[in-house]
Structure 1
Amino acid sequence: MTTELRRLRNYIDGEFRDAVDGRTTDVVDPATGEAYATAPLSAQADVDAAMAAAEAAFPVWRDVTPGVRQRAILKIADAMEARQEELLDAECRNCGKPRELTRQEELPMMLDQIRFFAGAARMLEGKSAGEYMEGLTSFVRREPVGVCAQVAPWNYPLMMAVWKFAPALAAGNTVVLKPSDTTPASAVWLAEVIGGVFDEMELPRGIFNVVCGDRETGRLMVEHDTPAMASITGSVRAGMEVAGSAAKDLKRVHLELGGKAPCVVFDDADIAAAVEGIRDGGFFNAGQDCTAATRVLVQEGVYEEFVTALAKAAAEVKTGDVNDPDAAYGALNNAGHLEKVAGFIDRLPAHAKVEAGGERVGDKGYFYAPTVVSGLKQDDEIVQNEVFGPVITVQSFSDEEQAVKWSNDVEYALASSVWTSDHARAMRLSKALDFGCVWINTHIPLVAEMPHGGFKKSGYGKDLSAYGFDDYTRVKHVMTAL
């Protein structure tokens, strides 16, 4: 006896559609390892249709007042909030996330971020008009860039979709969004919500479109002639491929890629607070977060104390399924990723020590125990490369100079944290650490008003904040004779 799988469909020009050629891919529940839905495996014809719809809708959406865009985006947030149980159904099944934790930690942030960008729609800024040459007045217009091709990841499928569509729509752009092939359900649900708002307001139906598919689908979107901008949150490899494809016709590119965040704990830090903050920042969302607190550098005088305390704290962290109220995190995203995370532990050098965890949990789904590894050296694979799982590594350092050198000695540069009671030291480290975010005596909080984005192989461009909004605009100089 087989259970009929739910059928997800693309959302193009206000209509739900199967892929033109009828191809599909299975969508697997990470908590069970079993397929529960199918989604379109979209190809060129589907991408063409979505791009045509977005292109046709752009002139109308571009030319409505910022106030109209604000009202539409606020209505989207209100509709999501009113239908939050459906949202949680889709997102938690998508990802294997604990439901109540997602309700408390992710849902409020999403809604706040959408509402922030609704306000940003009415805050377009530029230099004031002036006579910089005699007899001539100059001013700046800030305009939308056009159609945006956006690719969202699987670790926070809905929140990362929010980070993309909200500033793009607020600035007056139209959107073709591709969710990850492993987590399309919440994006398809989102399309229904947004489509309902645009229908209610009698706005063009092609303003927001969702195309499901795999890596090839994403490539077709980025290489398409229509988009003026490509935005992706994903791996370094994916970001490089997108940048290369976009270069062929000089599209704008917005990249938020991997991370390997150092957490630098000095001997004057509040050790209990550092352990708690790093535990929470390292294991949240099963460590599947490019800002996760996964690489800890501890000053040698408190190293043993810290390792012992962190291992004990990790042993008290529980992973569990969607409906487990005590679960601090859920399953890893897919079987391949579980294998990747386990591989880092299997390949540990002889000088490393697993202080906690280090094994799969259960015999179904993709659960992995909260893991702490000590005794590591700077050039070890697990120190240099992103694990993207519930694994925290700990190294010992001697002084501030060494801490800064080792912190910066990775290819990533997204986020970092400093744990110290010395304000001057914290200020020195905030300058010296080569990362897009430096937290002091905390790790992982984000707010809509502040930018998020990295340097080096963590990508470029900013999410959130007015800086993220500006990334979806272009600047035009207008000069007129008096």
Structure 2
Amino acid sequence: MADQTFKNVINGELVDSASGATYDVVDPATGEVYAHAPLSGPEDVDRAYAAAATAFETWGETTPRERSEALLKLADAMEARIEELTRVEVKDTGKPYAMTLSEELPPTIDHFRFFAGAARILEGRSAGEYLADHTSWVRREPIGVVGQVTPWNYPLAMMSWKIAPALAAGNTVVVKPSDTTPASSTLLAELAQEFLPPGVLNVITGDRDTGRALVAHKTPQMVAITGSVRAGMEVAASAAQDVKRVHLELGGKAPVIVFDDADIEKAAAGIAEAGYFNAGQDCTAATRVLVQAGVHDEFVAALAEAAKATRTGLPDDEDAFFGALNNPDQLARVKGMVDRLPDHATVATGGDLARVPGGEGGYFYQPTVLAGLQQDDEQIQHEIFGPVITAQRFTDEAEALRWANGVEYGLGSSVWTRDHGTALRVSKRLDFGVVWINTHIPYMSEMPHGGFKHSGYGKDLSVYGFEDYTRIKHVMSYYGE
């Protein structure tokens, strides 16, 4: 029985949907409904955007110092309630509590502090006289009202990636979290009302129709989404009708190239960690490994052992490295991709639903390693988005690069080798927005995150992500007689 009801946050108030409609929110670790959330419709989208548009008239005029101080206070409030935020996030996602508390919440809070600082150091090109009797300078200004859609794999973290730079730049925001994970987004918006004027940050929950209404609305000057390639294409097509700016962080299929001279033990351990973190539900997860022929068999064996040592379990299991998949559709997708394995491929370990005591109704899957796959197989070409790592055998650098780049995605990648020249040469030729060398998946506020090709465009994090939420204006003044 559901025992909790979430609210939209519109114009500084916690409100139900205009129609009163709600939908069920499910705990992935048990498969049981534990809450309800507003099923927002067009009227709710109108109200949220109207509030954001009104708020922009004053928030857009605030000084960088004022915006910075507000974000720093919000970060402090989040830190003071970090355990509560973690519990809320875990209930929505099925993640292990200890892992979420230590690995996800601290960087999420840090993003607000980073962009609070970035608000005060925004720079333009130098002013000068580029035409006789005229002085020119460049202004960076907030875009205005921004609509954002965030995903279910990292609800709170991805929300921070979106709203922190937007708010720091002076924009106002309307966010729709994934329908399966509304809890932490609404709590964060509720916390923020103490430090932000009403209407600056609004959160509305709902389904895909809610998201479509948010993107298609006439008010926002920019829409940003973290989601699937299909969703990104729909957003871009819809936004084109109003020539809105679009920021897309979409899917990935990260190649992980392991050369013969790599430290196999360290590579296997590092790749297993980067592949199974968050149950592989990460667009940059290390789940597509290309291994040079000389060490292929040894590496696959080591990776299988690392997988066997990786534990999935309930959120309160302190030994669990990852928890349940987010929803039954995602579990069915992962299971289907493994069940349809072609005859030339094998399951080195795993390959089935995981049995978790106390989580019989949850969406758990074993840490899995698949070997013998070929470049055109669907398991190589398409996101599995689960705790499944694939392995391919390559012969030389040229083949590794051809296969690595031979997918529609271009988000994250990594190279594992002791040879400095190989690492630099391959990192240059990988057609991906992020390349790690002898590591995979770490990120920080100071460095940009974003991809190429079907992985989208625009950057999250860093000053590049900050600048994405500004517009450039040239001002020229005549000073002649």
Same fold (TM over 0.5): yes
Q: Give me the whole-angstrom Cα distance separating, in 1, the residues matched to 2:217 and 2:338.
A: 41
Residue correspondences, number = 475
Give the letter aligned to residue 255 of structure 1. L
Query: Greater shift after overlay, 82-91 or 439-448?
Result: 82-91
1:75-474 mapped onto 2 (5 Å cutoff): 75-198=73-196, 204-362=197-355, 363-474=360-471
Structure 1: gaps (5+ residues): 199-203
Q: Give me the whole-angstrom Cα distance separating, in 1, the residues matched to 2:50 and 2:318.
A: 45
Listed one character per residue, the Cα deviations across residues 274-323 of structure 1 (whole Å, up to 9, x for unaligned) are 10110000000000000000000000000000000000110010001110
Which residue does the alignment assign to 2:64? 66
Q: Give 1:364 shift.
A: 1.8
Give the letter aligned to residue 435 of structure 2. V
CA contact (8 A) 2:250 2:283 kept: yes
Listed one character per residue, the Cα deviations across residues 71-127 of structure 1 (whole Å, up to 9, x for unaligned) are 000001000000112101110001001011111101111111110000011111110
Which residue does the alignment assign to 1:23? 21
Tell me the SS of whatever aligns to 2:135.
strand
CA contact (8 A) 2:312 2:322 kept: yes
Q: Give me the whole-angstrom Cα distance separating, in 2, the residues matched to 1:87 and 1:188.
A: 11
Which residue does the alignment assign to 1:7? 5
CA contact (8 A) 2:32 2:361 kept: no
Q: Give me the whole-angstrom Cα distance separating, in 2, the residues matched to 1:196 and 1:332.
A: 34
Tell me the SS of whatever aligns to 1:452.
coil
For normalisation by structure 2, the TM-score amounts to 0.98
Give the letter aligned to residue 210 of structure 1. V
Runs (4+) off by over 4 Å: none
Q: Give me the whole-angstrom Cα distance separating, in 1, the residues matched to 2:163 and 2:8.
A: 16
Tell me the SS of whatever aligns to 1:26.
strand
Listed one character per residue, the Cα deviations across residues 128-174 of structure 1 (whole Å, up to 9, x for unaligned) are 11001111000000000000100000000000000000000000000
Tell me the SS of whatever aligns to 1:412.
coil
CA contact (8 A) 2:2 2:33 kept: no
Q: Give 1:59 shift.
A: 1.4
Q: Give me the whole-angstrom Cα distance separating, in 2, the residues matched to 1:425 and 1:270.
A: 15
CA RMSD of aligned residues (A): 0.6
Listed one character per residue, the Cα deviations across residues 29-70 of structure 1 (whole Å, up to 9, x for unaligned) are 000000000001100000000000000000110111100000
Q: Give 1:5 shift.
A: 2.6
Q: Give 1:208 shift.
A: 0.3
Listed one character per residue, the Cα deviations across residues 431-470 of structure 1 (whole Å, up to 9, x for unaligned) are 1100000000000000110000000000000000000000
Tell me the SS of whatever aligns to 1:6.
coil
CA contact (8 A) 2:96 2:318 kept: yes
Tell me the SS of whatever aligns to 1:166.
helix
Tell me the SS of whatever aligns to 1:454.
coil
Give the letter aligned to residue 49 of structure 1. R
For normalisation by structure 1, the TM-score amounts to 0.98
Q: Give me the whole-angstrom Cα distance separating, in 2, the residues matched to 1:442 and 1:59.
A: 45
Q: Give me the whole-angstrom Cα distance separating, in 2, the residues matched to 1:82 and 1:300.
A: 51
Change (3 A) 1:423 1:153: same
CA contact (8 A) 2:258 2:415 kept: yes
Change (3 A) 1:169 1:336: same
Q: Give me the whole-angstrom Cα distance separating, in 1, the residues matched to 2:2 and 2:147.
A: 32
Q: Give me the whole-angstrom Cα distance separating, in 2, the residues matched to 1:28 and 1:51.
A: 28
